[in-house]
Amino acid sequence: MASTIPEFTKDELVLIRATLQERFGREVTLQLAETELRLNPALTEITPCPTVYWEVDNCHYLISKVDKAHYHATFFYRLYQQYGTQKKRYDDLFDCIVSLLKAQEQHQQQEQGDS
């Protein structure tokens, strides 16, 4: 089933790459994918969404486009350990990326403090 949601634009990908370069101090390889998300919690219907995926230090990151101008962010270490940010949707891609990176950093610090 093809997605009706537009793919990530060149400008959006440039923004993601630049933000990750700044955060990690090196180039991060991005992969384009498609993720099936349940966009309406009241319905069981799933929607294929264009997604940008990358991995750094055994952490997997996903930013999915949920409509023309909104994004959803997730990170995970194993499939059963999935985490998100405080918001379900972002209307600003930069805010989405930064929130995702901050949430992962806070999670990592908490995990290191617990061990």
pLDDT for position 5: 93
In a domain, 16, yes or no: yes
* 66-113 pLDDT, tens digit each: 999 999 999 999 877 889 898 989 999 999 999 999 999 999 888 887
Q: What Å distances lie between residue 67 and 71, 72, 78, CA to CA? A: 7, 10, 27
3-state secondary structure of 14: helix
Number of domains forming the structure of the chain: 1
Q: Name the residue among 68, 9, 73, 69 with its Cα closest to residue 35.
A: 73
In a domain, 89, yes or no: yes
Question: Does the pLDDT at position 40 exceed 90?
Answer: no
In a domain, 105, yes or no: yes
In a domain, 4, yes or no: no
In a domain, 43, yes or no: yes
* 54-66 pLDDT, tens digit each: 999 999 999 999 9
In a domain, 20, yes or no: yes
In a domain, 28, yes or no: yes
In a domain, 2, yes or no: no
- What amino acid is encoded at 112 in this protein? Q
pTM, whole model, 2 decimals? 0.89
Rounded Cα distance, 51 and 46, in Å: 14
pLDDT for position 114: 66
Q: Name the residue among 42, 59, 53 with its Cα closest to residue 111.
A: 59
* 6-35 pLDDT, tens digit each: 999 999 999 999 999 999 999 999 999 999
3-state secondary structure of 68: coil
The residue segments making up the domain with residue 22 are: 10-114
pLDDT for position 94: 97
Average pLDDT over residues 1-6: 75
Rounded Cα distance, 112 and 19, in Å: 25
